Amino acid sequence: MAIDHYRTLGRSGLRVSPFCLGAMTFGREWGFGADVDESRRIIDTYLDRGGNFLDTANIYTHGHSEKIIGDHIGRHPSRRARLVLATKFMGNMYPDDPNGGGGGRKAIVRACEQSLRRLQTDYIDLYWMHFWDRHTPIEETMRALDDLVRAGKVLHLGFSDTPAWKCAQAQTEAVFRSWTPLIALQIEYSLIERTVEGDLIPMALELGLGVTPWSPLKGGILTGKYTRGTAPPQGDRRYAEDSKHLNERTFTIVEALRKVSSELGVSPAQVALAWVQQRPGVTSTIIGARTVPQLIENLAALDCTLPAELSALLDEASTPVLPFPHAFLQNLTNCIQNGTCINGVPSARWPLSPADDQERF
């Protein structure tokens, strides 16, 4: 696979690269990330290799992420036209202003106008709801977004970090009322975080949403930098976050990852990225980078193909515990199918069913 082997995103005709360049690391206002010059080099490296999908948000580095993109891309019409530019609303950058963020019409319109100004563009290709606002009726959010599409300021819509039931409600409202439907879902997804396979991934497949995973390397843990004998240094910026996930399951996953990477002759990070990109429903995986070499190494994961037996090894090491009723339903296959094979799923005869010669009431 190559970065310029484009895919349509969800139930739409929007073509995007299999790896999306995440821009949360553009700017150093949050105490990490790349400065302006390095951010520009990262963008150029991605575009020069054929990538066309760039993802940011209004709140990233106080809005500086959007401005870096606008200064480097937005003010150049020919470069802007070739780019699928995605940004997000919801986060509030105005202390003590209750309408400075959220999913209400006032906040959405204001956030969109400001993002357009910083990005120096007339339209946003994909506008994400960054996360769910429980205080706003979803029909208000969807109608406001539909108005932005009708005004030509936004072309496509997506949801990020929102419960599956709320996504389904929003999509149903949109279809029923002839508003603009969602085409994409952005969620955390990695070998460590697989609980999304319970509801979010099946929901996306059913409702025509292309999945764009974020944090596919779980903040760098899946680069293999930690083992059972090592731990993040106490003063490290990521110490508090990483240490929450360094448990027996994580180390088992990392060991399997190292084994697979050794057999294939690639890095653990490339294996982890390849695994995510090959999961059902995934269209484009979001990769971040603070340096050009990091970006180049991550892009090389597109050349990594996981054989079935090695992919199965990773699946087994990372099998998630899903909430009710998923495990319960798995145990009902025999009851439902009773000795038949349906869509490639076999079953045994259900022992509590009547025998062939028994009377059925």
Q: What is the pLDDT of residues 331-355, one digit of tens each?
A: 899 999 999 999 999 999 999 999 8
Predicted confidence at residue 234, as pLDDT, reads 65
Average pLDDT over residues 31-54: 97
Question: Is 60 a residue of the active site?
Answer: yes
Q: What is the pLDDT of residues 262-299, one digit of tens each?
A: 999 999 999 999 999 999 999 999 999 999 999 999 99
Predicted confidence at residue 348, as pLDDT, reads 95
Predicted confidence at residue 229, as pLDDT, reads 75
Q: State yes or no: pLDDT of 245 exceeds 90.
A: no
Q: What is the pLDDT of residues 210-226, one digit of tens each?
A: 999 999 999 999 998 88
Average pLDDT over residues 317-327: 94
Average pLDDT over residues 188-209: 98
Architecture of domain 7-321: Alpha-Beta Barrel (3.20)
Predicted confidence at residue 358, as pLDDT, reads 85
Predicted confidence at residue 246, as pLDDT, reads 87
- Which one-letter amino acid corresponds to residue 271? V
Confidence of residue 154 (pLDDT cuts 50, 70, 90): very high
Confidence of residue 1 (pLDDT cuts 50, 70, 90): confident
Q: Which of 145, 82, 148, 88 is nearest to 115 (CA)?
A: 88
Marked catalytic residue, from 6, 60, 127, 226 = 60
Predicted confidence at residue 228, as pLDDT, reads 80
Alpha carbon distances (Å) from 100 to 24, 71, 129, 187, 302: 20, 24, 15, 24, 40
Rounded CA-CA distance 54/69 in Å is: 9
Q: State yes or no: pLDDT of 32 exceeds 70.
A: yes
What is the overall mean pLDDT for the chain? Answer: 95
Predicted confidence at residue 242, as pLDDT, reads 72
Reduce the DSSP state of residue 104 to 3 states and report it.
coil
Average pLDDT over residues 189-206: 98
How many Cα neighbours within 13 Å face the side chain of 62?
7
The residues spanned by each domain of the chain are 7-321, 331-361
314 CB-contact burial (10 Å; exposed 0-12 / middle 13-18 / buried 19+): buried
User: Rg of the chain over CA atoms, in angstroms?
Assistant: 22
Predicted confidence at residue 244, as pLDDT, reads 80
pTM of the predicted model as reported, rounded to 2 decimal places: 0.94
Bridging pattern class, strands 84-89 and 124-129:
parallel
Confidence of residue 237 (pLDDT cuts 50, 70, 90): low
Rounded CA-CA distance 349/233 in Å is: 55
